[in-house]
Structure 1
Amino acid sequence: MKSALQTQKIGFIGCGAMASALAGGLARMGIPLDQMCAADPDLSQRERFASSLGIRTLADNSALVEQSEIVVLCVKPVMVVRVLSNLPKSIHLERPLWISIAAGVRLISLEAALPDGARIVRAMPNTPALVGEGATAYFANAATRPEEFRTAETLFSSVGATWLSQTEGQLDAVTGLSGSGPAYVFLFLEGLIEAGLKEGLPEEAAEKLAFQTVLGAARLAIEDERKPGVLREQVSSPGGTTVAGLGELNAGDLKGILNKAVSAATRRSQELSSESGD
């Protein structure tokens, strides 16, 4: 089925890693390269983006916005409002669909920097999008049309799984779970590897086995219809090695620690979102 994205001009403001990931994902999906363009004031960033993807770049954000039907804001959160405010009012800022991936920047802040009626999607991807295995939740303002929700879903599905949030506030919980989640997994991997080294495994083996174990367990959980708890019980034979290991994790309240981590990250996201809307 032909995607509506294939007939729309897509512009990225910012030529960093996430813009590259999204543009690359769209290219793999079959979106023509000449339908995409990116703008960045940093010449080295533009050259890197153009050479790696074969996509045209510009130095001027205004020129990019004027020729784009979809504009994806891929700049640091502290820069978003400034970037939007610096766009000249003479260009039709209400014409494109705006998609922001800036963490903590609320729709109210984006709406204040754009003309009335601007259609805006706020999204929260995570870093595994860089390898096409991201998790992105998104929400949109009231002006956004139903077909534009589908446009956002198609765009982010090019780099992984997507979920349409029921409220903007849920994006804070998304930030706490999947936005910050890769760091939790990396810490878990560090712990597994260090434990393997302590038990006498060579570093290369400890890393390879730990990485594949987490990858394989995640794939099994995705593809198997049973809940993770059922899968855990299936490999937990009474008196066996897994039960011994799980006993230590439960004694240390691993689930409770994860709850606290997600809660702390969610609260911090709420604080940052509140600050951005002041």
Structure 2
Amino acid sequence: MSEAKMVFIGGAGNMAGAVIGGLVASGYPAERIVATGRNEQKLADFAAKTGVRTSTDNDAAVAEADVLVLSVKPQMMKELCQSIAARVVERQPLVISLAAGIPLAAYRRWLGAGVPIVRAMPNTPALVGTGVTGLYAGEGVTGDQKQVAQKIAEAVGIAIWVEEESGIDRVIAVSGSGPAYYFQFMESMIDAAEKAGMARADAERLTLQTALGAAKLAVASDVDVGQLKRNVMSPNGTTERAIQCFQSGGLPELVERAMGDCAERAAEMAKELDN
């Protein structure tokens, strides 16, 4: 499936559009990709930007798909799947869902029990090529199809496979929702710096660049983040005082509790959407 015909339903949207852009930028033939949508002008603009083919006819697009990527809102997924189910059963493409929360059991009911399906959970940094995508392969997905799914995910960052579907909930708690955790921390730093007398624009610039630098350093380093933290801390120094404040205030326990609540809510949403 090295040059599989890929069809992205909802392909001109933000997430699917980012994935398509990443694939084309990495050398995947644009003519082997079809993006569908409802807005003809938006599709025309997207085609001009990426070189891919576009269509407003989902059924016709699915009829030529080797890989079918579903990128619509979760509440729209059931209706979409039911509208293309006959064509999917006939064509038997690899189906990859980018929608959060919908379990494979629901897709099997809506599309057919024998269709190979991969659940993908990307996060918003995928929009700038630095995303993380959790992947789970359903029954019947071949090794070649897993490689295709991984290639699609890696077009916008890194990918990690989980062995059980519940593992997607843990991926959501770490990377799916994770960007918001960092945004919250950055917002708090900016607010605190402003209250201390710094101009907000300066506080924002310093905070964002520090976050970027810390992340790049952590990715490039061959030591764990705990050691990187200790490398910044001098005994009885300024950083040690700040870290002690975080720890005595219960930050590690709060993070653990928040991530647990996030994973729990992900499991709840899967049950709700399954029903």
**TM-score interval w.r.t. the shorter chain?**
over 0.9
Q: Distance in 1 between matches of 2:87 and 2:192?
A: 61
Alignment deviations for residues 2-49 of structure 1 (CA, whole Å, 9 cap, x no partner): xx44x2111100021001100001011101111111111233442343
Maintained 8 Å contact 1:66/1:92: no
Alignment deviations for residues 43-74 of structure 1 (CA, whole Å, 9 cap, x no partner): 34423432432322111110110111111000
Q: Distance in 2 between matches of 1:210 and 1:93?
A: 53
Maintained 8 Å contact 1:94/1:116: no
Q: Distance in 2 between matches of 1:142 and 1:92?
A: 15
Alignment deviations for residues 51-104 of structure 1 (CA, whole Å, 9 cap, x no partner): 432322111110110111111000001111210101262565442110001101
Q: Distance in 2 between matches of 1:124 and 1:233?
A: 33
Q: Does 1:173 align with 2:170?
A: yes
Report what 2:265 is aligned to: 268
Distance 1:169 1:94, change over 3 A: farther
Q: 2:77 aligns with which of 72, 76, 80?
A: 80
Report what 1:153 is aligned to: 150
Report what 1:10 is aligned to: 6
Report what 1:209 is aligned to: 206
Maintained 8 Å contact 1:94/1:115: no
Q: Does 1:121 align with 2:81?
A: no
Q: Distance in 1 between matches of 2:237 and 2:44?
A: 56
Shift, 1:255, TM fit: 1.3
Q: Which 5+ residue runs of structure 1 have no aligned equivalent?
A: none
Q: What is the letter of the counterpart of residue 52 of structure 1?
A: K
Q: 1:68 aligns with which of 53, 65, 69?
A: 65
Maintained 8 Å contact 1:40/1:46: yes
Aligned counterparts, 1:21-60, within 5 A:
21-60=18-57
Shift, 1:129, TM fit: 0.1
Q: Does 1:182 align with 2:179?
A: yes
Q: Which 5+ residue runs of structure 2 have no aligned equivalent?
A: none
Distance 1:90 1:57, change over 3 A: closer
Q: What is the letter of the counterpart of residue 32 of structure 1?
A: P
Maintained 8 Å contact 2:63/2:88: yes
**1:71 match: secondary structure:** strand
Worse overlay, 82-91 or 191-200: 82-91
Q: Distance in 2 between matches of 1:88 and 1:266?
A: 30
Q: Could you list the runs of 4 or more consecutive aligned residues of structure 1 that deviate by over 4 angstroms after TM superposition?
A: 90-94
Q: Distance in 1 between matches of 2:78 and 2:69?
A: 14
Instruction: Count residues with an aligned counterpart.
Output: 274
Q: What is the letter of the counterpart of residue 7 of structure 2?
A: G
Report what 1:230 is aligned to: 227
Q: What is the letter of the counterpart of residue 20 of structure 1?
A: G
**2:170 match: secondary structure:** helix
Q: Does 1:99 align with 2:96?
A: yes
Maintained 8 Å contact 2:89/2:111: no
Distance 1:135 1:146, change over 3 A: same
Q: Distance in 2 between matches of 1:193 and 1:54?
A: 41
Worse overlay, 75-84 or 216-225: 216-225
CA-based RMSD of the aligned residues comes to 1.5
Distance 1:34 1:90, change over 3 A: closer
Q: Distance in 2 between matches of 1:217 and 1:145?
A: 39
